[in-house]
Homo-oligomer: A and B are copies of this chain.
Amino acid sequence: MPNEARPGTGEQAKQLALAKLRQAILQGEMAPAQRLVENELAEQFGVTRASVRAALIDLASEGLVERIPNRGSRVRVVTVEEAVAITECRMVLEGLCAAKAAVEASEEQLERLTGLGEAMSKAVADGEPVTYSELNRELHDRILEFSGQQVAVGLLDRLNAQLVKHRFRLALRPGRPQQSLSQHLAIIEAISARDPQAAEAAARAHLVSVIDALRD
């Protein structure tokens, strides 16, 4: 479904508009709750209004923008409350994926996870939060991939797209990497031990801590 379209290559007009709009929203170039006027966007991106319209419909169903009939589109603002609800859903879905990964992953894939764990430990020890953040994301992605649960992966993609803002704030928090590192290592250990219940519990424990942090 989300076809991971690269903005660079010459796509179709609608796909291009969709990619550009999504990028603009995700990178925060659009102010929260900013009005998205179809004509302006069409001119800005060099496509026609129909293409912008189609892209907006797509983004609305992804939860990135809000469309009110005859009233236009706005970039959707995710309140802290909603962010917590979203993260609760992430909690159970990633728990499911961790459990399945513990059963389904190959030996090579397990090695990959332990390798990621070591790299994360090193990043924290060296005090490189940016690297750690990237590895963090990589770890989560790999667990989803190895679980083979494509439906859950699709749902999580959608949920994560709505959280970019809050996720950003969270990563910059001092002391947070140290806190989450042990949780991540616990997840890796449980999956490597082929223990689905422990893996699910560890993944959920991690996201419970994220929820607590979200609440400030």
* Chain A interfacial positions (CB closer than 8 Å to B): 1, 12, 15, 50, 53-54, 57-58, 60-63, 69, 82, 85-86, 88-89, 91-93, 95-96, 100, 149-152, 155, 159
4 A-B pairs besides A54-B54, A57-B61, A89-B155 with CB distance below 8 A are A1-B60, A61-B62, A92-B93, A93-B93
Chain B residues with CB below 8 A from A100, complex form: 88
Chain B residues with CB below 8 A from A50, complex form: 50
Closest CB-CB distance, A207 to chain B, in whole Å? 11
A150 and B85 in contact, given A69-B12, A96-B92 (Cβ under 8 angstroms): yes
Closest CB-CB distance, A131 to chain B, in whole Å? 31
A151 and B58 in contact, given A12-B69, A92-B92, A93-B93 (Cβ under 8 angstroms): no
Closest CB-CB distance, A192 to chain B, in whole Å? 22
Closest CB-CB distance, A53 to chain B, in whole Å? 8
A53 to B149, alpha carbons, bound, how many Å? 30
A152 and B88 in contact, given A58-B57, A61-B1 (Cβ under 8 angstroms): yes
